[in-house]
Amino acid sequence: MKLKISISIIMLILLFSINIEAAEIYLGSFAPEKEENYTFAVFLNEIEDSNFSIYYEDAFFSSENKIINSTILNLLSQEGAVPVSLEHINIDKNKVIRNQQITFQIKLRPDYEPGVYKNTVILEGDNFKKEIGISFDIRPWRQIENGSTYNAVIENMKTRTHNLYSSGQQKIIIKSNCDWKLKVMLDSDTENNISILLGTDSESRQITNHSNEFININEKEVLVVSGSKTTTLKSGQVEIYYQLKIEDFKKINAGKKHYQLNFVLE
């Protein structure tokens, strides 16, 4: 059985114009599962100055007690991308303004924590000063994948206990930018006493919590593992291994049995 639960995010690269007199620009809501660039344009009133400076009001995009380094924003010019910073950077307006618009590109990464982030970009010349409030929403995201290429087969017997165990190690992969819980259930009830044992690789143990004993499972969801955001790990993911057990095979009628195991990520 191959099980895969995932959240697919399609990131569209959009270009839109907003009158600079609107002090706040909301870029939208994102759940970046991989690094993405988002491009947007800002409409400007006629600027008489041939040059102007651009800089941030703050060194970070902030959301309550969370921050993102403001180096994620670039001003696009004929000569390439110009990183926006606290430092006043001198800009030739003829190299960045087209049809009274300037264009920015912001980099969105999967390790950003959920929240609405805000910062202000300032354009300043000899005769004008424009403040552009920029905000965007990072949504929580979670992803679960089947990391095994074959189904679990419960066939290995221990004669002393008469228990049956699944062969090999089945694997589940989890990725997220927030806390998560993994639950498991069977698609239907069974008279057979089925249980599951879970473990993780050494890196994943840093952010996960689970029992080291077999846990009985049935048609009702059972919490088996909980964890925090996987983006703090070098691999960016948690690897969970599991083994199944049926107690006392002598109580089971002979024949091939099929069980559907469902994992639910919350």
Domains assigned to the chain: 24-138 (2.60.40.2410), 142-265 (2.60.40)
Asked if 217 and 249 count as a contact pair (C-beta separation under 8 A), the reply is no
Average pLDDT over every residue of 83-112: 91
Rounded alpha-carbon distances, angstroms, from residue 84 to 74, 89, 95: 6, 8, 16
Higher pLDDT, 186 or 82: 82
pLDDT at position 13 over 50: no
pLDDT at position 233 over 50: yes
Mean pLDDT of the chain: 83
pLDDT at position 253 over 80: no
Percent of the chain with pLDDT over 90: 53
| Residue 6 amino acid letter | S
Burial 17-50 (b: 16+ CB within 10 A, else e): eeebeeeebebeebbbbeebebebbbebeebeee
pLDDT at position 7 over 80: no
pLDDT at position 6 over 70: no
Average pLDDT over every residue of 88-116: 91
pLDDT at position 104 over 60: yes
57 conformational bin, left if phi > 0, alpha if psi -120 to 50, beta if neither:
alpha
Percent of the chain with pLDDT over 70: 79
At 70, is the pLDDT very low, low, confident or very high (cuts 50, 70, 90)? very high
